[in-house]
Amino acid sequence: MSKIIPFKAVRPTADKVALVTCRTYDDYSSAELAAWLNFNPYSFLHVIHPAYANTQKITIDKRFKGVLHKYQDFKNENILVSEDKPVFYLYEIQAKHQTFTGIIAGTSVEDYQQNIIKKHEDTLQYRVELFKDYLHQTGFNTEPVLITYPDSVEINTFISLRKKSEPIYAFATPNKEKHTLWKIDTQSEIDWLQEHFENIPNLYIADGHHRSASAELLYEQDKHLGNKNLNYFMSFLIAESNVKIYEFNRIIRDLNGLTKDDFIKKLAENFIIKTKDQELWKPQNKFEFGMYLDGSFYALFYKQNQKETSVLENLDAQILYDTVLNPLLGIEDLRNDERIDYIPGKQSVSVIKDLIDEGEYEVGFMLYPTNISEIKTIADNNLIMPPKSTYIEPKFRSGLVVYEL
């Protein structure tokens, strides 16, 4: 039984929404960030990256206060306005190859604690605490947790019919995506959605494990204050068939003292190796891996897949770690080892080739994407996937909808 609630959101005025909303802060290079801050005074980047932080070193506490101050400026200048009453939203992203549609709602911290909302990734405590402090001091969040639910004919029908109505936003972004937002504000629609989600036994976090963990930590810290907004966190709920799951590919700086020939010989103990020369080869199936080394591509076919039984052991990311990254290349900590970096699978394999050819990295591995069934099975068994196992879309635009605490 999954509980969702409408909430009194803060959002941009319709005439400025295309200027206000932005990609996630971490998605910008330093040069791109500076250009947007200089070019666009309405960008939400001014809120999440206060201008003075460019010119001086400041404490985290002062930075968070600067975020809150700039956020209040945006509200005072009527760049951002508040809803009159709690609502749900229907949000559609038309990307180049796929359209994503979901519901923006508040989801329950209690459901999260009781594992009705299930997780498949581990979190870093310092990141959880840092974002908790951010929420506590700024009093708002604009990046929802991406949560999947089992496909429902009834909900799909509701969404299809609702999309025929007049949206409150319809705008394009520089990356050629189209964004459309509808307000769901009648009591009958709100009741209907809540009743249908109550019939869903479990929800699954696709992206945003740190944000949901921070929301729980803030709730435990401040629940004595009686602020009911802390009982929920903003989520973007999307049918599980509508998410796009990419792999994270791995690039490693060295062969841990091994020669190329010795490394390939050791690989052959667990993989059938086929040379692909200059073919930009990517895995076509589970238990297949691509490798780029010394100017050539290789296809690696895992030999031992019939011997593994647990869902975790059968994950391609775990197989690569257990057979190559840890025992051969000496990488133990996938999160913090500076010898390994990650490239989202939506980027071309040629990016990996170029990085290795430039000499900073020595070998790269391409993985086959995990599917939603594997993610759910991992979560249902209270297991944790290896770090950087999935890169999941859609990605939400900052500043589109704000949940105030």
pLDDT in tens, 93-106: 999 889 999 999 99
Q: Indicate where the chain has its CATH 3.90.1530.10 domain(s).
A: 4-245+393-404
CA angle 335, 336, 341 (to 5 degrees): 70
Q: What is the reported pLDDT for 335?
A: 87
pLDDT category, 56, cuts 50, 70, 90? low
pLDDT tens, 336-383?
899 999 999 999 999 999 999 999 999 999 999 999 999 999 999 999
pLDDT category, 305, cuts 50, 70, 90? low
From CA 15, how far away is CA 116, in angstroms rounded? 39
Average pLDDT across the chain, whole number: 94
Map residue 183 onto helix, strand or coil. Answer: strand
pLDDT greater than 90 at residue 299: yes
Q: What is the reported pLDDT for 58?
A: 77
Inter-axis angle of helices 153-162 and 187-198, nearest 10: 160
Q: What is the reported pLDDT for 173?
A: 94
User: What's the number of CA atoms in the CB half-sphere (13 Å) around residue 166?
Assistant: 2
Mean pLDDT, to the nearest integer, of 196-225? 97
User: Under a CB-based contact definition with an 8 Å cutoff, are residues 136 and 218 in contact?
Assistant: yes
pLDDT category, 49, cuts 50, 70, 90? confident
336 compared with 89, residue with greater pLDDT: 89
Q: Residues of the chain with pLDDT > 70: what percent? A: 97
pLDDT category, 198, cuts 50, 70, 90? very high
pLDDT greater than 80 at residue 137: yes
Question: Which CATH number is associated with domain 4-245+393-404?
Answer: 3.90.1530.10
Question: Which CATH number is associated with domain 248-368?
Answer: 3.30.1760
Q: What is the reported pLDDT for 306?
A: 55
Q: Which of 25-39, 51-65, 160-174, 318-332 has the lowest mean pLDDT?
A: 51-65
Q: Is the pTM of this model over 0.85?
A: yes
From CA 239, how far away is CA 237, in angstroms rounded? 7
pLDDT category, 27, cuts 50, 70, 90? confident
Q: What is the reported pLDDT for 203?
A: 98
From CA 307, how far away is CA 299, in angstroms rounded? 21
Q: What is the reported pLDDT for 308?
A: 55
Q: Where are the alpha helices (DSSP H) in 42-144?
A: 45-48, 60-76, 109-113, 125-138
pLDDT category, 248, cuts 50, 70, 90? very high
Residues 6+ apart with CB under 8 A from 167: 180, 181, 182
Mean pLDDT, to the nearest integer, of 123-133? 93
Q: Indicate where the chain has its CATH 3.30.1760 domain(s).
A: 248-368
